[in-house]
Structure 1
């Protein structure tokens, strides 16, 4: 029996990278995991198959964030699936991992880029949480995936960093708002991680070495490094931690 046996979890952006690792880890700890993804059916199915092979339980939810009706589409599927599988619509763990990126310095930012990133990374996340509060159990967990770019100046991705800064503020406010229900709200901030987002940089040995050197451990992070932290925050062992920004960057730029 894992630490999350009998729990239900929603992980957004679960088809690849950090989201996939988080979903697999939560499922390995016994949670029934809803795997949200936007469009990549093949990658989402791979995540589901991996969880099945590990002996876990999960199901897929397809919903593109940042378009009209996105939250309704997501939660209609989620609640239907949970009712069928558990006879209840209740959720215990919400991991907000889905996000879009866009590299742009201040002179490169366009209104379209700004609107796209804030719509998906901030607006959709806010209303996703708002809707989740109807079904999230007292004593539940909300875990927001932030970025070390909110602690360390990273002008190359200005708007992306701004969206994650807004997420940190949301985390702090919700932690106080939801404490009477025993719900904890925390943010986890990765640095450079081996995902598709950084694949082009890792393919270049010189660029990969440069990224690794940012960490005190002189390596790029692995998705499992982040997933294990999220699993701890999702468990009862983290019940006395809320409103926190957990730096998960491997000591980047200490």
Structure 2
């Protein structure tokens, strides 16, 4: 039995990743920021479909909470699975900010770096002793780290740092047989950024027109890609950035 830990797994893309992984027989530890009920609903859906899951609270911007979180993960592994390790780590949790460079505050900048880069670095570091040799790590980036749109500099720069970090992780963890890759979604119909891509018909249409496949991405496009990347079929993919965007801005 494989076990995946997915941060930010209670809603949006993280929830979809959890459900796709569970459908392939992977049990789930998911984290949520504040909505415990929403997280428990995801666990319940996993259990209805024959899997096992647990939801743990985690604020990825609070780096001092990572050590006690690791201990709670270890406790859950022992109690639910009789194990001391897990197989897959998906660093997905995050939030966005829209601000032109001239208007970006230091607080906004620090928040993006803390959530999207510093947390990925130090949470991964903290969890390394619990990741099974031969396991997998997937870090979630963004298409905005490749193409540039006004207003996303702080967010995208932090995601760019994650992409460099991923390559270094792949090199340093190779001796343990752990692969590390990046999945970079394009514009997706979720509640991210207030749901603007999903709920603004004009924006949705404009993005679709710039995408060779002729539509905006859906959560299933990303959840399915992450689950596929974590399958044994992709065991020789390592240190790569895989953009899942329908080919936008090629």
In the superposition, the TM-score normalised over structure 2's length comes to 0.96
Q: 1:8 to 1:202 in 2, by over 3 A?
A: closer
Q: Is the 8 A contact 1:154 1:161 kept in 2?
A: no
Counterpart CA distance in 2 for 1:157 and 1:8 is 34
Partner in structure 2 of residue 248 of structure 1? 244
Q: Give the counterpart of 2:224 among 197, 210, 228.
A: 228
Counterpart CA distance in 2 for 1:193 and 1:124 is 23
Q: Give the counterpart of 1:139 among 108, 115, 134.
A: 134
- Which runs of 5 or more structure 1 residues have no equivalent in the other structure? 1-5
Q: Is the aligned partner of 1:73 residue 2:68?
A: yes
Matched residue count:
249
Q: Which runs of 4+ in 1 moved over 6 A?
A: none
Q: Helix, strand or coil for the counterpart of 1:156?
A: coil
Structure 1 position 68, deviation (Å) = 4.7
Counterpart CA distance in 2 for 1:247 and 1:63 is 27
Counterpart CA distance in 1 for 2:38 and 2:174 is 36
In the superposition, the TM-score normalised over structure 1's length comes to 0.94
RMSD: 1.2
Partner in structure 1 of residue 166 of structure 2? 171
- Which runs of 5 or more structure 2 residues have no equivalent in the other structure? none
Structure 1 position 74, deviation (Å) = 2.1
Q: Is the aligned partner of 1:211 residue 2:225?
A: no
Q: Is the 8 A contact 1:141 1:233 kept in 2?
A: no
Partner in structure 2 of residue 150 of structure 1? 145
Structure 1 position 153, deviation (Å) = 1.0
| Higher mean C-alpha deviation, range 48-57 or range 130-139 | 48-57
